[in-house]
Chain A
Amino acid sequence: EVQLVESGGGLVQPGGSLRLSCAASGFTFSTYWMHWVRQVPGKGLVWISRIKKDGSDTWYADSVKGRFTISRDNAKNTLYLQMNSLRAEDTAVYYCGRDAAGAGPTIDFWGQGTLVTVSS
């Protein structure tokens, strides 16, 4: 069974940093591209980043480019999102998702999400 379990969320002050983790199991992690998507509570979904299966290429939404870094450790079956210079508007539930490895960047499995709150 495919499982994605996010962790690392919490309360952080504006300007602070946080690293999210997404532990993957039930599939060969190293053969799948991965995504991060966020959602302000009660609002819609916003894609923020994607990484190739070997980590050799990454993509970001403009809203996080230069502040967030996606990475992965295939030996540990874990995806990361390093978030720096956090702002109040980064407050959201952060989901990791598996890219279906088809023709398009379809996200076929999602984690349960981890809440990040940026507030003083």
Chain B
Amino acid sequence: DARVTQTPRHKVTEMGQEVTMRCQPILGHNTVFWYRQTMMQGLELLAYFRNRAPLDDSGMPKDRFSAEMPDATLATLKIQPSEPRDSAVYFCASGPGTGGDEKLFFGSGTQLSVL
């Protein structure tokens, strides 16, 4: 049963620490999205990759956030240094890259709490 895997599921850290979130997209999928979900802002698009190349990271605070795809099976989202306002659920989603009718498959998310 193919699924998007995110680790860790929960992360509690102190302000100023580095946080790394990982995502394993569904095998064969070539688009990867990172979203952040909060009660106030809803789902915010942070970054978007196609064939491992970053296409859009305009929604991501560049001074502290970075997103990469070291290979086709791994996407990472890093926050350094973390701040309390980064507390949220971070979702990774992948898609088969089938063009306009593509639908996304979401992981279960990483719930991040920055104290």
Q: Do A and B come from one complex?
A: no
Q: What residues of chain A have their CB less than 8 Å away from a CB belonging to chain B?
A: none
Q: What residues of chain B have their CB less than 8 Å away from a CB belonging to chain A?
A: none
